[in-house]
Amino acid sequence: MNRRYRLGTVTVAVLTLGLALAADPAGAELLQAVRVKDQGHLADLQATFWKQAPAVNVTMLPQVIAVPKHPNASVTSLSVKAAHNGQWLAILLEWKDPTKNERIVSDTFGDQVAVELPVHSSKDAVPSPMMGNPGGRVSIWQWRAAFQHDVDKGDPTVRDLYPNTLVDIYPDQVLKAIDVRPYTGALGLDNPISRHKQSPVLDQMAEGWGTMTVYPDQKADGKGEWRDGVWRVVITHPLVDGNENQPRLPPGGETVIAFAVWDGDNHEVGARKAWSNWIPFRLAK
């Protein structure tokens, strides 16, 4: 058996496994988004309506399918609640994490959590829960602790991130804006990850590993808080926003939902994470 054939066989086997996992979310506990009267933005961790929303415990799995694999993921379960007011959906996620990781420098990583929903699906055609698959697009709303820090406290300076840094002069102090662009790294390339954040949540889509794309029009929002070794994060998004690449979630509708978590203290980033299979998801009328 030649190497190309072996690699092809492995790829098919992995995709088959992912689609098989996606095909049967039945057996998993139903997450129900309760309908609330609150007409605010719903991104309130202390809102009283969370008391009426039933919690679902979601089992998280180590990511050992795609390279780089991570068999020792820290987070093994998530507590999830959901609510909507007819216009906005809110997902509340809670998990244990003894360390708060909200700064990202060359040798550290940040805590993160993400919600995944299929853009188009039916009971007979559900995308892979592992970031979708070709023809099976998913929407991914990802909250990052580092973004939350920047939203709450402002963008960090170089000195904030690297206290021992010595700088004589920055290019933007002596060059015109058009000439300084090559010296501004990711900002000069308009990398959305590097821009100033109005929200701690990134609104993204994917059709498989390595295809993550940030939506040009960001609609997701949220809020995260770490206290006594527990992260509580709420992620909000319009139920329907008119974008054909976003899921449509009308009251009374049913779909599936999945999650991913990263523990920065455990060097988790990118594919090194904990993830969940699809679970059934329903929005109360």
Distances in Å between the Cα of 131 and the Cα atoms of 26, 122, 151, 160, 274 are 19, 17, 27, 34, 13
Q: Provide the pairing of β-strand 61-62 with 213-214.
A: unpaired
Cβ neighbours of residue 140 closer than 8 Å, sequence gap 6 or more = 114, 115, 116, 131, 204, 205, 206, 212
How many C-beta atoms surround the C-beta of residue 238 within 10 A? 16
pTM for the predicted model, two decimal places: 0.87
Residue 42 lies in a domain: yes
C-beta separation of 83 from 93 below 8 A:
no
Q: What confidence score (pLDDT) does residue 184 get?
A: 81
- Residue predicted with more confidence, 27 or 245: 245
Residue 28 lies in a domain: yes
Q: What confidence score (pLDDT) does residue 193 get?
A: 75
Per-residue pLDDT, averaged over 160-164, amounts to: 86
C-beta separation of 128 from 19 below 8 A:
yes
Q: What confidence score (pLDDT) does residue 270 get?
A: 94
Residue 225 lies in a domain: yes
Secondary structure string (H, E, C) spanning 198-242: CCCEEEEEECCCCCCEECCCCCCEEEEEEECCEEEEEEEEECCCC
C-beta separation of 99 from 145 below 8 A:
no
Query: Domain of 15?
Result: 3-155+196-283
Residues 140 and 115: their CA atoms lie apart, in Å, by 6
pLDDT band, residue 38 (cuts 50/70/90): confident
Cα angle vertex 249, ends 247, 253, to 5°? 130
CATH of the domain at 7: 2.60.40.1190
- Residue predicted with more confidence, 241 or 93: 93
pLDDT band, residue 104 (cuts 50/70/90): confident
Residues 235 and 48: their CA atoms lie apart, in Å, by 16
- For the chain, give the mean pLDDT: 88
How many C-beta atoms surround the C-beta of residue 218 within 10 A? 15
Residues 175 and 173: their CA atoms lie apart, in Å, by 6
Domain count, the chain: 1
Residues 85 and 147: their CA atoms lie apart, in Å, by 26
Cα 146 versus chain centre, distance: 13
Residue 101 lies in a domain: yes
Residue 47 lies in a domain: yes
Residue 191 lies in a domain: no
